[in-house]
Amino acid sequence: MALIGIVAVLLVILPLIALTQTGLVRIIGQIVMTLVLLVIAGGAGLFGYICIKAQARKWGTGLIVVAILSVLAIYMVWVGRLPLL
């Protein structure tokens, strides 16, 4: 259980803290956060597709929405604002 907490700190909390910094620390935080969000988007998109093929359309739609929100979060991490705002 402690390993899950350590992984959460290293992969989510530290990059979020790094995004408030400047320079090289910010770029490293952006890269790590982007990788985490890409894994989330890829997994959610893949399982959403599988759910839709298995006739579980509500689950599939929800997972596809999570994948789209992850892509928007990646955009926001790099640009600093949401698109069209």
- The pLDDT of residue 1 is 66
What predicted TM-score, i.e. pTM, was given to this entire model? 0.76
**Are 27 and 71 in contact, with CB atoms under 8 Å apart?**
no
- The pLDDT of residue 13 is 76
Report d(CA 66, CA 54) in Å as an integer.
18
Report d(CA 31, CA 47) in Å as an integer.
24
Report d(CA 42, CA 44) in Å as an integer.
6
**Are 77 and 30 in contact, with CB atoms under 8 Å apart?**
yes
Averages of pLDDT over each 10 residues, the chain, 85 residues? 75 76 83 87 92 91 91 85 71
Q: Would you state the structure tokens that stand for residue 15, as one six-digit string?
A: 């990059």
- The pLDDT of residue 80 is 78
